[in-house]
Chains A and B, each alone.
Chain A
Amino acid sequence: AQKITQTQPGMFVQEKEAVTLDCTYDTSDPSYGLFWYKQPSSGEMIFLIYQGSYDQQNATEGRYSLNFQKARKSANLVISASQLGDSAMYFCATYQAGTALIFGKGTTLSVSS
């Protein structure tokens, strides 16, 4: 079965610094994708970025980029120039055999001024 591992329960960073949130995955599907979501304290889940396993380039969306290393089965989220509004919980996810997303346990990011 697919599995997502996020080993950092909490990360602390100062404004304008870059931060990397780790995600490793385990899947038997030949074609798969990795997703990152942000959950602010208000509770809604916000989709940030997606990387397909056959995509040649690492995905980027504004200040978010995905450092995808297929051989290492890692899909780390990089946030450049952190802002106070980036303080939230972040989840990595992948599909379970094409049915539903399975999520890691999340990383809480705290950005201070």
Chain B
Amino acid sequence: DVKVTQSSRYLVKRTGEKVFLECVQDMDHENMFWYRQDPGLGLRLIYFSYDVKMKEKGDIPEGYSVSREKKERFSLILESASTNQTSMYLCASRTIAGVNTGELFFGEGSRLTVL
């Protein structure tokens, strides 16, 4: 079975803390993605990565950075957490299929609360 694993299901952090959200996939997928999900807003793309050491900004990259040192791992970093970053964070991956085809495989999500 394909598997995308996010390191923490629930996190509580304080304002100003540095936060790492880890995501690991075991499918040898090239592309990986970080989304955040907020009520009434759907899923919004933060960053994505085509392959190792590559990264692209999504629609809402401000306040976030990412790291992809190994193909299977894609980390989302909040350099200085703020209360407006309280959200559900979803990691996903996919293999390189056609240009606009190929479903994303998602992790179970990480619900972050920043106090």
B45 at the A interface (CB under 8 A): yes
Q: Does B74 contact A (CB under 8 A)?
A: no
Q: Which of A31, A47, A91, A98 contacts B43, CB < 8 Å?
A: A91
Residues of chain B from 71 to 115 with CB closer than 8 A to chain A in the complex = 88, 90, 92, 98-101, 103-109, 111
- Report Cα–Cα, A97/B11, bound state, in Å: 33
Are B101 and A50 in contact (CB-based, < 8 A)?
yes
Task: Write the nearest CB–CB distance from B2 to chain A, whole angstroms.
Answer: 10
Verify if A94 is at the interface (C-beta below 8 Å from B).
yes
With known contacts A33-B100, A100-B58, A91–B48 Cβ distance under 8 A: no
Q: Tell me if A52 and B101 are in contact (CB < 8 A).
A: yes
* Contact between A45 and B92, CB atoms less than 8 A apart: yes
Partner of A45 from the list B58, B90, B111 (CB cut-off 8 Å) is B90
Separation of A29 and B101 alpha carbons in the complex (Å) = 12
Among A29, A43, A50, A102, contact of B109 (Cβ-Cβ < 8 Å): A43
Interface string of A4-47 (1 = CB under 8 A from B): 00000100000000000000000001011101010000111101
User: Nearest chain-B residue to A101 (Cβ)?
Assistant: B104
With the chains together, A45 CA to B43 CA distance in Å?
Answer: 11
Cross-chain contact B108 with A31 (CB below 8 angstroms):
no
Alpha-carbon distance A99/B58, docked complex (angstroms): 10
Report chain B residues within 8 Å CB of A99. Answer: 48, 56
Of residues A44, A94, A104, which shows the largest number of chain B Cβ atoms within 10 Å of its Cβ?
A44
Alpha-carbon distance A9/B111, docked complex (angstroms): 22
Contact A45 B41 (CB under 8 A): no
Q: Do the beta carbons of B108 and A43 come within 8 Å of each other?
A: yes
Is A31's CB under 8 angstroms from B100's CB?
Answer: yes
CB distance from B33 to the nearest CB of A (A): 6
Partner of B48, one of A31, A42, A45, A100: A100
| Chain A residue at minimal CB-CB distance from B41 | A105
Q: Which 6 A-B pairs have the closest CB atoms?
A: A45-B106, A98-B99, A105-B42, A95-B100, A43-B109, A103-B43
